């Protein structure tokens, strides 16, 4: 069936500037880490991408190893682009990244110039694109000089294979060094992608967001709902189709009585606001200084609609923020 996007897709979504750059991202972006691989249902993946774009989500985030199988999320997204979204390519921000294991041997992991440039070429081929809008180094490599990794990103941008560079999962000291090198090279760079949510505030404590504000770089946060913990999904037990039940990245051992008690109290505040816990968790994130966009995952279109609907809620009050901090302390 021919796809025609919603004509009102830009009316409700807010777009936020990446630091001091000219690039804006939607308040919510869609990540394709899970549920877009070769083991997943293509029609559902396609429906999620269509739903996201219909709601004004213009940023779709991938990586070379997303799947499973590794690379298959990019193949799936490339297929969706060809069927539905290629006429709207200039309305999209498509990002990919490399830095985790992708192929065997010494050149298929980490941060060497050879790995990053080869990975970018492979990602473009899988998606059927001439360029991505943002290409990230996915994690800092302790054995490769940061300068080598950043010069590889610079080469990728200068060759026209990406418009902007970004980094992901860098500790603050290494991030500051990366920013310095990219600025000296004159490389357009816009984003640092880091894990952050109500239950994981490590980068806040370490100073990552202060650094982003000082450097004028955007911050995009992944796992904003703590892989489903910051929802009402686990308040009454473990659903059979949940990530915990599948024993993936989120383990049953994580669901301690203390954590569930915190989640229950947070859910009470959200209910008092007329929101779901997920909606409040996203609102809390977007109110944090330095956060440009919340990078959500989804397993079905309804979840995307629910998160975007929550963006229209009233801002959290100082009293509500204080209650949340007391619960999280």
pLDDT confidence of residue 241? 54
Read off the tokens for 35. Answer: 């549920």
Place 315 in a pLDDT band, splitting at 50, 70 and 90: very high
**Residue corresponding to tokens 């090279």:** 185
Place 247 in a pLDDT band, splitting at 50, 70 and 90: low
Read off the tokens for 126. Answer: 């899988």
**302, pLDDT greater than 90:** yes
SS3 assignment, position 172: helix
pLDDT confidence of residue 245? 46
For the chain, helix (H) and strand (E) counts, in that order, are: 12, 10
Structure confidence by residue, pLDDT tens digits, 46-80: 999 999 999 999 999 999 999 999 999 999 999 99
Q: Which of 6, 49, 14, 59 is nearest to 283 (CA)?
A: 14
Domains of the chain: residue spans and CATH? 14-233+275-315 (3.20.20.100)
> CB–CB of 35/76 below 8 Å?
no
Percent of the chain residues past pLDDT 70, beyond the cut: 95
Structure confidence by residue, pLDDT tens digits, 106-119: 999 999 999 999 99
pLDDT confidence of residue 236? 66
C-beta neighbour count of 115 within 10 angstroms: 24
């Amino acid at each position: 069936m021919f796809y025609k996007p919603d004509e009102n897709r830009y009316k409700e979504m807010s777009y936020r500037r990446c630091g001091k750059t000219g690039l804006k991202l939607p308040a919510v972006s869609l990540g394709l880490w899970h549920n877009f691989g070769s083991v997943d249902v293509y029609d559902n993946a396609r429906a999620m991408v269509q739903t996201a774009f219909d709601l004004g989500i213009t940023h779709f985030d991938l990586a070379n190893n997303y799947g499973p199988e590794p690379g298959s999320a990019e193949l799936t997204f490339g297929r969706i682009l060809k069927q539905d979204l290629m006429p709207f390519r200039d309305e999209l921000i498509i990002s990919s990244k490399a830095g985790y294991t992708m192929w065997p041997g010494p050149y298929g992991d980490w941060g060497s110039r050879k790995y990053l440039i080869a990975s970018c070429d492979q990602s473009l081929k899988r998606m059927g694109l001439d360029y991505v809008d943002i290409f990230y180094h996915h994690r800092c490599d302790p054995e490769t000089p940061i300068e080598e990794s950043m010069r590889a990103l610079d080469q990728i941008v200068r060759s026209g294979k990406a418009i902007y560079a970004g980094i992901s999962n860098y500790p603050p000291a290494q991030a500051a060094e990366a920013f310095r090198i990219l600025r000296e090279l004159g490389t357009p760079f816009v984003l640092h992608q880091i894990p952050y949510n109500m239950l994981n505030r490590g980068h806040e404590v370490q100073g990552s967001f202060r650094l982003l504000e000082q450097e004028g770089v955007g911050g995009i946060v992944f796992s904003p709902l703590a892989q489903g913990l910051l929802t009402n999904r686990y308040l009454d037990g473990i659903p059979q189709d949940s990530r915990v039940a599948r024993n993936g990245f989120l383990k049953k051992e994580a669901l301690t009585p203390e954590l569930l008690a915190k989640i229950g109290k947070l859910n009470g505040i959200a209910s008092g606001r007329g929101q779901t816990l997920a909606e409040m968790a996203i609102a809390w994130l977007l109110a944090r200084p330095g956060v440009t966009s919340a990078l959500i995952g989804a397993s079905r279109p309804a979840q995307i609609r629910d998160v975007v609907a929550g963006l229209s809620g009233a801002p959290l009050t100082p009293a509500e923020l204080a209650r949340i901090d007391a619960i999280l302390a």
